[in-house]
Structure 1
């Protein structure tokens, strides 16, 4: 399965989800090396809490996990193990919030830290509250897995926050029943409706104003400040990445080194390298991302010969471009163009 990097697949996220997945599956006998294969991650990375990863790396681990386990309901079972403590400072701030509503609003305001592939919203309709998951734009072959993981992890968090095993009223899903649909009712413990326009986790609105058993206003305030600081760091680093990408996109043949890019951006190469390291990426990785985007655009939208596309992307030899494109997409440029 080839998990190509989408143009919007740029943000960095924490590795709490895959660290949990690798830990759980290792207990079941799945080797870490197989789960991390082709992700650019090592076992040592999973022991580094501050390390940031790209969605493409996380999706690769998910795809490896499905391939290794052959378990179609893996998203459901992993989500039920995603306890609130797995979200680091965000999770502890939620635990210390006054009510469930406050905790959920905090999480929804910090979706970068939540690490979701969806745009999540909390909606109320009479006596029913809904956590709605929209806007999935990533690997389509992992859409069911990621929806299952998202909704079951939200349910697990709600249960952790309230300190009781509450059941949803119903679950709505935006896809047809998969072959393992029978597992949904058992794991969610409520009616499940497939083929809906959106995916939602529905529960009693009365729970929203329930005071949380571990509420602590001082700890919550401190935690929220730390969440805001961490989110700002992520956003700041992301701005620098976008500046580099923009320059590469407009100056592809001339952008031969990080030093030249730094000069054009009026920054030192050392400063840019520090930003790239903090965002768990590198100049070469960014260059590959931009080249891949540009290559797909030229292959699909123009009749430009492949040797000229290679020149436009800064390759001195067409063969080097072919090898790179095969590595990115799993296809040669000619096959992709068809």
Structure 2
């Protein structure tokens, strides 16, 4: 390999993804003494579907279930606890294909190429310069109060996968993390076996570039070729049936800032306004209906989280007055926000 190298994974979050991560959430729920059925309530996903390798879900469904798992855990659940469950085998065909690659570099390149199958929420920017390698992790969407949980889950998953591929627990040399040190900061060094620097300008992992040339003990070019073809087909399938409604829900669910006007929304999904209206009518919905449903879902999540005032929630959802939010919430649920919050405790 040359002394300088640079590749990136895709810079947008796909609407659809495999069901693999939800299967991990359900197994983890059982280990934490939580009824798995409870974390699936309202998601549109059945227990019987978890064993279907072709079942695809939305990122929105996955986040909803992840939030419920965190909320129902008997003690505060860190992403550090959950990340190790997201190992190589949990990634399905993609994980198996990575195991069959010739070198660690080939495996990493494969994972970045088919990143949609890894159900990631980050863009990975891999750069090699001389003897050092650098991985930058950039959030693809705003996850508000859930961003630390998701980051911890993903970075532990990354470490677990790389450690399994290389059969080496000391693959990271330094980690620079773009958030303040949490109360349990000592756990980071224990898990990753390297110096940790918090309050960094970006998420950055530094490693010895020589590990990329290491041969993998399960390398099998024929099996890898077959599995990679299946990965390619799965990625194509994820993008086949994306409706305009899917696209709009995806935009609004992971939006940072104010909800867009209809013309702004049409621009965001790169479609003429007239086409958006026509397609939504054909799908039996409207922008107003989708926006109302997203506001309801976000309101339920923010209230259940318990760390946001009603005034702040109303502001986040685009209501100029709290009274407007209260009226909408009562129409959605038949109860008040305060009573709903009491019921979630």
TM-score normalised per structure 1? 0.71
1:233–1:179 distance in 2 versus 1, CA, 3 Å: same
1:235 aligns with 2:206: no
1:66–1:300 distance in 2 versus 1, CA, 3 Å: closer
1:136–1:181 distance in 2 versus 1, CA, 3 Å: farther
Structure 2: which 5+ residue stretches go unaligned? 1-11, 250-265, 297-313, 339-345
Instruction: Give the superposition deviation at 1:135.
Output: 2.7
Q: How does 1:315-330 map to 2 (within 5 A)?
A: 323-324=331-332
Q: Which residue of 1 aligns with 2:253?
A: none
1:209 aligns with 2:209: no
1:265-292 Cα distance to aligned partner (Å, 9 max, x none): xxxxxxxxxxxxxxxxxx6699843565
Structure 1: which 5+ residue stretches go unaligned? 1-7, 263-282, 307-318, 332-338
1:69–1:294 distance in 2 versus 1, CA, 3 Å: closer
1:62 aligns with 2:62: no
1:158 aligns with 2:162: yes
1:190-242 Cα distance to aligned partner (Å, 9 max, x none): 11111112113322111001111111111111111111111112122237766
Structure 2: how far apart are the matches of 1:73 and 1:192?
A: 21
Structure 2: how far apart are the matches of 1:151 and 1:242?
A: 28
Q: CA RMSD in A?
A: 3.7
Task: Choose the corresponding residue for 1:261, options 279, 282, 293.
Answer: 282
1:85–1:288 distance in 2 versus 1, CA, 3 Å: farther
Structure 1: how far apart are the matches of 2:184 and 2:13?
A: 29
1:14–1:60 distance in 2 versus 1, CA, 3 Å: same
1:238–1:251 distance in 2 versus 1, CA, 3 Å: closer
Task: Choose the corresponding residue for 1:224, options 218, 221, 228.
Answer: 228
Could you tell me whether the CA contact under 8 Å between 1:244 and 1:261 is conserved in 2? Answer: no
Q: Which residue of 1 aligns with 2:204?
A: 200
Instruction: Give the superposition deviation at 1:244.
Output: 9.2
Structure 2: how far apart are the matches of 1:129 and 1:107?
A: 17
Q: Which residue of 1 aligns with 2:290?
A: 289
1:93-132 Cα distance to aligned partner (Å, 9 max, x none): 1111111111111111111111111111212233222222
Could you tell me whether the CA contact under 8 Å between 1:124 and 1:205 is conserved in 2? Answer: yes
Q: Which residue of 2 aligns with 1:45?
A: 49
Structure 1: how far apart are the matches of 2:222 and 2:188?
A: 39
Q: Which residue of 2 aligns with 1:335?
A: none
Structure 2: how far apart are the matches of 1:181 and 1:36?
A: 31
Task: Choose the corresponding residue for 1:83, options 87, 90, 104.
Answer: 87
Q: Which residue of 2 aligns with 1:139?
A: 143
Greater alpha carbon shift after TM alignment, 236-245 vs 33-42: 236-245
